[in-house]
Amino acid sequence: MKGHSLWHELMETVEVVVISLVLLFIGINIAKEIKSGELGQIIGFFKMMKEGQADVFEGETRTLAVEFDGVEGTIEVRSLNDLSMQMSNMRKSAIIYLEESGKFGRTLDIRMDEVDHDDIVKIAECFGGELVREQEFNMDKEGPMGLVSFLGEALKAASPDGEEWWK
């Protein structure tokens, strides 16, 4: 009986070790995915969505002049998410006037294109017609986080005191 009990204990120990190694392997792979894979993008996307939901202008709505695909109009923006969602109304190009001074203030010039089956967004931030900065985003490979970050920085720069008006 002692041999059977010893064998039973040994098998339980082996099972615990195997289960621990499997869990360790799974944990390491999850950590890798969080840092560099799609899971990391998903987590980043949810963080971005949460941050983007904060009301802007102490709960008030801001009206921005826009030009989507050559058609002038206005959009109502209460949060960073509102601006991102309104951009879905554009097909190929948009100009968003971040200040009442229109073309002479801070603007965003956005162009969408498809290159090798990837959606590419080119965005330029201008102030008084002068280029401040520009960047290109591969939406299929990078996801929306970089673009939304760019938008957030532009909105911060357009606020009267340079603070993030959506927080």
CB-side exposure of 71: number of CA atoms within 13 Å? 7
pLDDT at 164: 45
pLDDT in tens, 16-63: 777 877 777 787 776 666 666 666 666 666 666 666 666 655 567 788
Cβ proximity of 126 and 24 under 8 Å: no
Is residue 121 very low, low, confident or very high in pLDDT (cuts 50, 70, 90)? very high
Domain residue limits, the chain: 2-36, 44-158
Query: Between these two residues, 143 and 134, which has the higher pLDDT value?
Result: 134
